[in-house]
């Protein structure tokens, strides 16, 4: 009896799907377990602020924000004739002054003063309590924005429970907030341009997250969004003046820039050996010199902007897939980004995971979990590979989008609410 090859072929894609999803689940559970252990450390550890020389303790980054916000409040009150001083407890738990640190590679404040507006909110509560309340608020704000932008809860939960957000949560960074803002802004660009522009303007607290937005907002049909974006950014800048003064902006442009350049020029294994996710850091991890790494980054950024312009040039494109490609290209465009900035990417991979079927779902599942394991891989191999994953995700999603538009594959269910 002759075998029927047509009957046997569907088994291979199904097997690939099952194996891929199994590996994804096992990898995620392992990452989740290690994160829970670290979060237990946050509960049991003493609330020292950046006292660890390597700043590796849980809530290390959040401590820096909290500390800086506290100093902003003290300086603000004193400048208005209100007596305020730091408690003995504060000084007993602080080993360096962030803003005038002699170790800018470790403790230098590299953010624009607009990030200080968020830091002063962190400082309204005691350190440990503030850490937990802002972890919950960050997730809540991100989830609310993504839901309003039209994503279903299963995608939101998968994106905000992914390895990228787990990494962000332990360090107390702002990846959930900035990632949720960026994804929501991209999804709302056509339906709610004013709101999309306002969200884009908020990203002035961390400009590298919105580095791809100029290629979109400068298009004629997004003139309203661009205007609102600039207005919101201007308002936030003005709000920094009574709290931080002009000196904060002078410091940022004169000193923070040098600290940033000094940081990226540091030998790869000296600082954040596995944290970088950009083409620049990838080139450095493969022993490229500084000029060579900057050249690689420049080429990647130019290509990324060209593709973005083409992607957003025509209206009526698939809204969610267009967002996914944009998020992936942002990783290839920006020269300065770390693991905790991949929450938007995690949401994007969750979108594609829910939209595709067969072996493609396994691929996007692995790309989703890789947002955490790219750091683990870098630790053990010494090489950063996240840009390669972002390029693969962008290529696969672009192919899906073109295929759907050409009618070559059935258009999947639409997740945007009407």
Sequence spans of domains, the chain: 47-260+275-405
Mean pLDDT of 386-395: 96
pTM here is 0.85
CA 235/CA 198 separation, integer angstroms: 11
Task: Check residue 410 and give its pLDDT.
Answer: 40
Bridge partners, residue 338, by sequence: 276
pLDDT band for position 208 (cuts 50, 70, 90): confident
Reply yes or no on whether the pLDDT at 137 is more than 50. Answer: yes
Residue 373's φ and ψ, nearest 5 degrees, are: -80, -10
Tens of pLDDT, residue by residue over 160-172, are: 999 999 988 887 8
Task: Check residue 264 and give its pLDDT.
Answer: 66
pLDDT band for position 405 (cuts 50, 70, 90): low
Q: At what angle do helices 60-79 and 114-122 cross, to 10 degrees?
A: 100
Q: Between the CA of residue 41 and those of 33, 36, 197, 376, what are the distances in Å?
A: 13, 9, 39, 20
Reply yes or no on whether the pLDDT at 231 is more than 60. Answer: yes
Task: Check residue 287 and give its pLDDT.
Answer: 86
Q: Is 42 helix (H, G, I), strand (E, B) or coil?
A: helix
Of 314, 397, 398, 304, nearest to 351 (Cα)?
397
Element (H, E) at 264: helix 257-265
CA 324/CA 354 separation, integer angstroms: 13
Task: Check residue 397 and give its pLDDT.
Answer: 93
Tens of pLDDT, residue by residue over 260-273, are: 666 666 666 665 55
**106, 271 Cβ separation under 8 angstroms:** yes
Reply yes or no on whether the pLDDT at 338 is more than 60. Answer: yes
Task: Check residue 22 and give its pLDDT.
Answer: 85
CA 7/CA 302 separation, integer angstroms: 47
Reply yes or no on whether the pLDDT at 413 is more than 60. Answer: no
Lowest mean pLDDT among 17-26, 227-236, 319-328, 347-356: 17-26
Reply yes or no on whether the pLDDT at 98 is more than 60. Answer: no
CB burial class (10 A; 0-12, 13-18, 19+) of residue 73? middle
Lowest mean pLDDT among 18-27, 78-87, 109-118, 379-388: 78-87
Task: Check residue 94 and give its pLDDT.
Answer: 56
Task: Check residue 95 and give its pLDDT.
Answer: 47
**311, 317 Cβ separation under 8 angstroms:** yes
Reply yes or no on whether the pLDDT at 399 is more than 80. Answer: yes
Reply yes or no on whether the pLDDT at 288 is more than 60. Answer: yes
Mean pLDDT of 403-414: 46
Q: Between the CA of residue 407 and those of 89, 257, 412, what are the distances in Å?
A: 66, 49, 11
CA 216/CA 308 separation, integer angstroms: 7
Higher pLDDT, 35 or 153: 153
pLDDT band for position 382 (cuts 50, 70, 90): confident
CB burial class (10 A; 0-12, 13-18, 19+) of residue 316? exposed
Q: Is 180 helix (H, G, I), strand (E, B) or coil?
A: helix
Reply yes or no on whether the pLDDT at 93 is more than 60. Answer: no
Provide, rounded to the nearest whole percent, the portion of the chain with pLDDT above 90.
40
Higher pLDDT, 219 or 388: 388
CA 169 to chain centre: 12
- The number of beta carbons lying within 10 Å of the beta carbon of residue 18 is 12
The average confidence (pLDDT) of the chain is 81
Reply yes or no on whether the pLDDT at 33 is more than 90. Answer: no
Task: Check residue 43 and give its pLDDT.
Answer: 64
Higher pLDDT, 60 or 295: 295
Task: Check residue 323 and give its pLDDT.
Answer: 95
């Amino acid at each position: 009896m002759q075998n029927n090859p047509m009957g046997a072929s569907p088994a291979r894609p199904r097997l690939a799907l099952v194996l891929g999803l199994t590996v994804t689940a096992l990898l995620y559970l392992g990452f989740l377990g290690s994160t829970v252990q670290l979060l237990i450390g946050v509960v049991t550890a003493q609330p020292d602020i950046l006292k660890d020389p390597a700043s590796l303790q849980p809530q290390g980054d959040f401590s820096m924000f909290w500390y800086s916000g506290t100093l902003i409040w003290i300086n603000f009150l004193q400048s208005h004739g209100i007596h305020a001083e730091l408690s003995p407890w504060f000084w007993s738990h602080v080993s360096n002054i962030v803003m005038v640190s002699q170790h800018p590679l470790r403790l230098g404040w590299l953010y624009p003063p607009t990030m200080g507006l968020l830091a002063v909110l962190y400082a309204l509560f005691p350190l440990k309590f503030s850490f937990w309340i802002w972890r919950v608020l960050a997730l809540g704000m991100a989830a609310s924005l993504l839901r309003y932008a039209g994503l279903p809860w299963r995608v939101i939960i998968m994106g905000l429970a992914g390895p990228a957000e787990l990494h962000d949560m332990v360090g107390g960074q702002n990846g959930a907030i900035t990632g949720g803002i960026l994804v929501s802004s991209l999804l709302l660009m056509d339906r709610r341009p004013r709101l999309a522009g306002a969200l884009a303007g908020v990203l002035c607290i961390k400009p590298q997250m919105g580095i791809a937005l100029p290629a979109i907002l400068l298009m004629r049909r997004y003139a309203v969004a661009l205007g609102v974006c600039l207005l919101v950014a201007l308002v936030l800048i003005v709000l920094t003046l009574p709290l931080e003064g002009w000196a904060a902006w002078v410091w940022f442009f004169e000193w923070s820039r040098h600290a940033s350049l000094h940081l990226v020029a540091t030998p790869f294994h000296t600082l954040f050996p596995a944290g970088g996710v950009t083409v620049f850091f990838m080139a450095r991890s493969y022993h490229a010199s500084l000029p060579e790494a900057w050249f690689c980054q420049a080429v990647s950024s130019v290509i990324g902007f060209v593709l973005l312009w083409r992607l957003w040039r025509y209206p009526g494109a698939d809204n969610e897939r267009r967002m996914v490609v944009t998020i992936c290209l942002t990783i290839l465009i920006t020269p300065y980004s770390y693991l905790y900035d991949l929450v938007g990417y995690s949401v994007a991979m969750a979108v594609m995971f829910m939209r595709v079927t067969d072996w493609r779902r396994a691929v996007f599942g692995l790309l989703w979990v890789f947002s955490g394991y790219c750091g683990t891989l870098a630790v053990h191999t010494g090489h950063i590979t996240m840009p390669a994953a972002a390029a693969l995700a962008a290529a696969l999603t672009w192919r899906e989008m073109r295929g759907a538009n050409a009618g070559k594959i059935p258009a999947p269910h639409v997740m945007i609410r009407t």
